Structure 1
Amino acid sequence: MFFEAKNLKIYYKTKKGFVKAVDNISLNIEKGQTVGLVGESGCGKSTFGQGLLKILPPTTYYDGSVKIENQELINLTEDKMRKIRGKKIGMIFQDPMTSLNPVMKIEKLFYETLKTHEPEITKEEARKRTAKVLEKVGIEPERMKEYSFQFSGGMRQRVMIALTLVLNPILVIADEPTTSLDVIVQAQIMKLLNELRKEYDMSMILITHDLGVVAEMADKICVMYGGHIVEEAKSEDLYYKPKHPYTKLLLQSIPNTNINDLDLKYIYGSPPDLSNPPIGCRFVDRCPYKKEICKLKEPPVVEVDESKVKCWLYSEVKQ
């Protein structure tokens, strides 16, 4: 197995106790596969992505297993994790303006990144590799002499992508890579990411709110709610044959361009408090199909038509 997270728990320690941001998640990724991670704000998507790199606050509690190419990550020391970050697992953050150092020229950002993982590299070699990867993302190599604030939002995101790819990681986590960009630039960035993923033969975890973004890019989509993955399915199956009530409502809430159906649909209620989540199903208070058992016991993960669903509605299928 290329990548495997098994029974992963990531809890934030607070004065009131633990916030169960990621609670007992299991996920497999094949080599070269793109997995979309979608859901409402606060469901644990970004925590999952950043938790894989262990870049969360030092008081964060981890449990379970995360393996990449059979190497366990959860119990690694900070020194060993530094060798994993960037080299094996790269990350593209939401806002490039806060991720790129504004007082360092682009050239120096790349040199320091390369020097950290390849101490023997010379400045000339680093410059050549920087120029090559910048060309891949559509930026003229001459611009490496400039600062990040001299670039537009879309160009800064291209620099972030190039900075991630310069070390040739085997897995890239793209956390809302188009959030701060306009629609036209969003499409360009997503197309670029898809092309580079194929060219570099890397796997990708695409974290987003936008179901339209993952529709064309992801091979598999995982829907998160309240710290759980409530549905995992092939992209086509998820859009045309959704199983979990939350997935169905999430798809219905996408604005419809059909002139005969202009009513805006939404999901009633609010997400659960993850410092004190419900005993049973996390979606029970908002679910139109809830049963008595949903309030009393956490639902099992059931396989239905090649999809995995965490819901009591399908418990009889398993039996």
Structure 2
Amino acid sequence: MIFEAKDLKIYYRTKKGFVKAVDRISLTVKKGETVGLVGESGCGKSTLGQGLLKILPPKTFYGGSMKIEGEELISFSENKMREIRGKKIGMIFQDPMTSLNPIMRIEKLFYETLKTHEPEITEEEARERTAKVLEKVGIEPERMQEYSFQFSGGMRQRVMIALALVLNPILVIADEPTTSLDVIVQAQIMELLNELRQEYEMSMILITHDLGVVAEMADKICVMYAGQIVEEAINEKIYYEPKHPYTKLLLKSIPNTNIDDLELNYIPGSPPDLLKPPRGCRFAPRCPYKMEICETQEPKTFAVDNTHVKCWLYSEVKK
């Protein structure tokens, strides 16, 4: 197992209390596997991705366990985490314009990244490594002398992908890598990511709210709601046999291109306040199938037809 999280908690400290952005989740990623993390905005996807690298605000609380190749990240100091970031876990951020330093040439960005983890590397060796990885993502090596603001949105995202891959990490976290791009460029970036994942034999956590994106790339999909994983299954199971009411409604809300069915579906209500989440099921206030137990007791995770689902509707199935 490349990565494993168990009973993981990532809470933000505020004056009013803890915001339970990620609350007691368990997640595994195998070698070469792509895990899709989907859900509405504010459900904790990006917090989880950044939390795995421990790059959240200093007072953030971490609990439970998260391991990379058996090493426990929760107990690591900041200096130890710097060795992990980039070298073992790479990150592709959703907004390359604010993630790339606009006053540094592309070559310098790569050189600093390589020098941090490989102090003995020379400028010439770093330049060669940079040229090779830029070619992999479709950027001419000559452009490494330019600044990030001289690139288009799609090209900047390619630079971000190259930066994440230059140290050949075993796990890459792609946090909404196509959010700010148009549809054509989105398709190109996702195809590129898929090709590079196979070539480098790396594992990936793909964070997105776009169910169409994970349909093409993910081997396994985890559906998040209000800081928890409510359903986990292989790609086909999620799309053709969804179990959790939230997953069903999420899929139903995808716009239909069939001209005979122009009705737009949505999920009524809003996600709960994670300062004071509901006592029972967090989706109960919006769920059309809720029962009395849903409002008083938090559901357990039940195994149903190779799907793990956090819902009381399946309590009898387990029995």
Q: TM-score range by the shorter chain?
A: over 0.9
The one-letter code matched in structure 2 to 1:89 is I
Equivalent residue of 2:286, what SS?
coil
Residue of structure 2 in register with 1:40 after alignment: 40
Report the RMSD for the aligned CA atoms in angstroms: 0.4
Determine the structure 2 residue equivalent to 1:29.
29
CA distance in 1, matches of 2:180, 2:193: 16
Q: Distance in 1 between matches of 2:316 and 2:2?
A: 32
How far residue 193 of structure 1 moved from its aligned partner, in angstroms, is 0.2
Residues in 1 aligned to 2:308 and 2:264: alpha-carbon distance in whole angstroms: 29
Are residues 1:171 and 2:175 paired? no
Q: Does the CA contact (< 8 Å) of 2:2 and 2:170 recur in 1?
A: no
Amino acid aligned to 2:117: H
SS in 2 for 1:172: strand
2:91 matched residue in structure 1: 91
- The equivalent of 2:104 in structure 1 is 104
Deviation at 1:233, TM superposition (A): 0.7
* Aligned residue identity for 2:234: K
- The residue correspondences of 1:1-319 to structure 2 (distance < 5 A) are 1-319=1-319
Query: How big is each residue's C-alpha offset from its partner over 1:172-214, in whole Å with a ceiling of 9 and x where there is no partner?
Result: 0000000000000000000000000000000000000100000
| AA aligned opposite 1:112 | E
Distance 2:253 2:163 in 1: 36
Q: TM-score, normalised by structure 1?
A: 1.00
Structure 1 residue 68 displacement after superposition: 1.1
- Segments of 5+ residues of structure 2 without an aligned counterpart are none
Contact 2:281/2:295 (<8 A) preserved = yes
Cα distance, 1:257 vs structure 2: 1.1
Letter in 2 for 1:140: E
* Counterparts of 1:111 and 1:277, CA distance in 2: 45
1:216 to partner: Cα distance: 1.0
The one-letter code matched in structure 2 to 1:16 is K
The one-letter amino acid of 1:279's match is R
**CA distance in structure 2 between the partners assigned to 1:130 and 1:124 by the alignment:** 10
Q: 3-state DSSP class of the match of 1:20?
A: strand
1:60 deviates by: 0.3
Q: Which runs of 5+ in 1 are unaligned?
A: none
For 2:79 and 2:269, how far apart are their aligned partners in 1? Answer: 44
**Amino acid paired to 2:131:** A
AA aligned opposite 1:291: M
- State the SS of the aligned residue for 1:264: coil
* 1:83-125 per-position Cα deviation (integer Å, ceiling 9, x unaligned): 0000000000010000000000000000000000000000000
Alpha-carbon distance between aligned partners in 2 of 1:310 and 1:150, rounded to the nearest angstrom: 47
Distance 1:228 1:19 in 2: 13
CA distance in 2, matches of 1:2, 1:55: 20
Moved over 2 A (4+): none
Looking at structure 2, the residues matched to 55 and 216 of structure 1 have their Cα atoms a distance apart, in angstroms, of 29
Q: How big is the shift at 1:258?
A: 1.4
Q: When the two structures are superposed, what TM-score results if normalisation uses the length of structure 2?
A: 1.00
Tell me how far apart the structure 1 counterparts of residues 91 and 3 of structure 2 sit (CA, whole Å): 15
After TM superposition, give the deviation of residue 2 of structure 1 in Å.
1.9
Query: Aligned equivalents of 1:121 and 1:2: distance in 2?
Result: 27
Aligned residues: 319
> Letter of the aligned partner of 1:230 in structure 2?
V
- SS of residue matched to 2:110: helix
SS in 1 for 2:94: coil
For residues 14-51 of structure 1, the C-alpha deviation after alignment (integer angstroms, 9 at most, x for no partner) is 01000000000001111000000000000000000000
Q: Once the two structures are aligned, what percentage of the paired residues are identical?
A: 82
Q: CA deviation at 1:259?
A: 1.9
